[in-house]
Structure 1
Amino acid sequence: MNDYLVRIITENGAVRALACITTSLVNEACQRQGCWPTAGVALGRGLSAGALMGALLKTDQRIALSFEGNGPLKKILVEADANGALRGYVRVPAVHMEKPDGTFDVAAALGHAGLLTVTKDLRLKEPYKGIVPLATSEIGEDLALYLTESEQTPSAIGLGVFVEPDNSVSAAGGFLIQALPPGDDAIIDKLMHRLEALPSLTAMLKEGTTPEQLIERLFEGIPYTTLEKRELAFVCACSRPRIEKVLISLGKDELEDMLEKQGHTEVTCEFCQVRYAFDRDDLKRLLTEITG
């Protein structure tokens, strides 16, 4: 099944919700990164959160979510656009930590001191950037808290990732529910009770629950309209020309030093792990471009 997202709004406009399946793109990202189980769960939650947040954007807009802590994972960075394209990486993918009950300890792996940074490229002069301290170091909880307190949009987020013994991801996805002004206390109360009674989202995804079925379960008896269904995919924006621009930006002195001491260089994309090799002739050509 392809990855996709569904977005709905209640008929009275008081609540909007999104639910997604991200299994394939999360598995691809984790395999490219070489993630150990806990790192894979953390990255998978981040990518699912990115898919949900990206779906709230307008065409040509982009969002980046950065979770940076003092734990062994160091940092999780996810980028998404309004068209369902996502990419992400974890700074240290070789991390696996469990709680006493055997579940993945993402909060400890990320660290309990750090920052959540939300950067939105809304095609204005400067990107919008919101920075808040990590409150729980649980990806969904911290993002929901940010949306509720910093963007004044009461939100609930659920994220789930199932990692197999061979480190492959066999289920991933999530949901986002937001109260919109002027609000409807009766609907909110009903949804809160249903969220509290909801089984493990990871288990539901593993059993094959679809985004539509998840929304139907949460909004049973609450009239709503489906606004869209969009495909999601792992898409990396890197390319050789882009990497060349990065090397040129290092400046003449840096490239000359690289040419003299090494005679070549190799650049690896942090997101997709594709390697770009530049030999002596390539470096000379880039220097010529700088000097004209």
Structure 2
Amino acid sequence: MKSAFDQSYSLTMKRQSNSVLIVMNLQPEQDTEHARHLDTLASDGIDIFLLARGNLRGAVIHGTHMLNAMRRNHQLGIMESLILGHGYLATALVGSQLKEHGRVILSIDCSGPVQGMNVEATARGEVRGYLKNSTILIEEELESFDTGPFIGVGILSLTRHLERQKQPFTGQVLVEYGSIARDLANYYVQSEQTPTAFNLSVQFDAAGRISGAGGLFVQAIPGAHDEEKERAQELVEELPSLGRLFADRHTGADVVHRQFAALEPEIVGTREASFFCACSKERFARFIAGMSDQELDDLEANGPFPVTTVCHNCNSTYEFTKAEVHELAARHRKP
């Protein structure tokens, strides 16, 4: 039986040359019991596969660690984690089809309480993003985990920045279902005329913690036979809860080989998947130094200090003392 949390259809360091740039404030897991559970799971990652002798392509993501990190940094409740988590999983799956330096942005503007989201994934599996309203007021006990009432209707945009392409490509469709899996599948049919099925799943334990998370998509390649496409759609819809499978220590390759055995699956590649943002105090310092003279004068005079900056993509905060602001202002005014 499918989990109520499923949707189906469709402190970090980065090395630059010989130096190390501190990027993103990654919040640690404070719950020792949950940390022990996460330590028993396979690493996050994306398995890319072919079906039906190459007539269908797809990818499966294990994203349990990624979504736990997302939730900690953004300080999200259960429903907020479910909705943004679906966005992270889906965008990572789309990004897995890009070449090395490509990236994709999923943007939703909607009428529901979340108001929308913006999620970006690179071809390397680095994912970041946010809800436009990260605190949903729930006045009555939920009867289900249907995301429709919280998303509502609106516009879904998918923007690809492709390697060696000067201009990005953006497509849009109406948000009709309030389900990222169904609305993204509809995007591919309406905007790109490509039959595509998605399955997105986040599993919570009895304490409301994310115990497993994963997603999968299958896409028809031109020339695929109707019976192959229909069988693949059926198999995606019949998938057990991916979140539960990953919570029970299964791997993405296990899922592909067991669920799609009738379509002769072949794993053709793997990629990492992680919650990662390239923001840094240095980047925000450059932003402050680039402010106008009037804005800098006001900031130096009135603060408040320390000046706190927040990255909306990962919710990292960076503080600047009065002395640091003065130094940045002096740098700005230097002829």
Q: Does 1:285 align with 2:327?
A: yes
Choose the corresponding residue for 1:191, options 232, 235, 245. 232
Choose the corresponding residue for 1:121, options 157, 161, 185. 161
Deviations 1:220-242 (A, max 9, x none): 12223211122211111110111
Aligned to 1:272: 314
Distance 2:178 2:287 in 1: 32
The aligned amino acid for 2:158 is V
Distance 2:314 2:247 in 1: 26
Distance 1:150 1:97 in 2: 34
Change over 3 Å in CA distance of 1:247–1:107 after alignment to 2? farther
Query: What are the residue-to-residue correspondences of 1:43-54 with 2, within 5 Å?
Result: 43-54=84-95
Aligned to 2:55: 14
Distance 2:204 2:287 in 1: 35
Q: Does 1:62 align with 2:129?
A: no
CA positional deviation for 1:205: 3.9
Deviations 1:156-178 (A, max 9, x none): 00000012344421110110100
Distance 1:211 1:157 in 2: 15
Aligned to 1:41: 82
Distance 1:7 1:230 in 2: 8
Aligned to 2:149: 108
CA positional deviation for 1:269: 1.6
- Structure 2's unaligned 5+ residue stretches are 1-41
Query: What are the residue-to-residue correspondences of 1:218-257 with 2, within 5 Å?
Result: 218-257=259-298
Change over 3 Å in CA distance of 1:14–1:131 after alignment to 2? same
Distance 2:197 2:257 in 1: 16
Query: What are the residue-to-residue correspondences of 1:81-230 with 2, within 5 Å?
Result: 81-95=122-136, 102-110=143-151, 112-123=152-163, 124-230=165-271
Tell me which moved more, 175-184 or 214-223. 214-223
Distance 1:17 1:38 in 2: 27
Change over 3 Å in CA distance of 1:40–1:284 after alignment to 2? same
Choose the corresponding residue for 1:79, options 109, 116, 120. 120
Deviations 1:131-183 (A, max 9, x none): 32212120111111112221222100000001234442111011010000111
CA positional deviation for 1:291: 2.4
- Is the CA contact (8 Å cut-off) linking 1:51 and 1:84 kept in structure 2? yes
- Is the CA contact (8 Å cut-off) linking 2:213 and 2:242 kept in structure 1? no
SS in 2 for 1:160: strand
- Is the CA contact (8 Å cut-off) linking 1:97 and 1:106 kept in structure 2? no
SS in 1 for 2:104: strand
CA positional deviation for 1:56: 0.6
- Is the CA contact (8 Å cut-off) linking 1:99 and 1:105 kept in structure 2? no
Question: What is the Cα-based RMSD across aligned positions, in Å?
Answer: 2.2
Change over 3 Å in CA distance of 1:190–1:95 after alignment to 2? same
Distance 1:98 1:45 in 2: 23
CA positional deviation for 1:255: 1.9
Distance 1:285 1:172 in 2: 45
Choose the corresponding residue for 1:23, options 61, 64, 67. 64
Change over 3 Å in CA distance of 1:261–1:39 after alignment to 2? same
With normalisation by structure 2, the TM-score equals 0.80
In the alignment of these two chains, the number of paired residues is 291
Distance 2:138 2:180 in 1: 16
Q: Percent sequence identity over matched residues? A: 29
Distance 1:115 1:193 in 2: 28
SS in 2 for 1:245: helix
Distance 2:310 2:138 in 1: 27
SS in 2 for 1:150: helix
Distance 1:281 1:137 in 2: 48
Deviations 1:32-69 (A, max 9, x none): 11111110111111111121011011011111112221
Change over 3 Å in CA distance of 1:206–1:129 after alignment to 2? same
SS in 2 for 1:183: coil
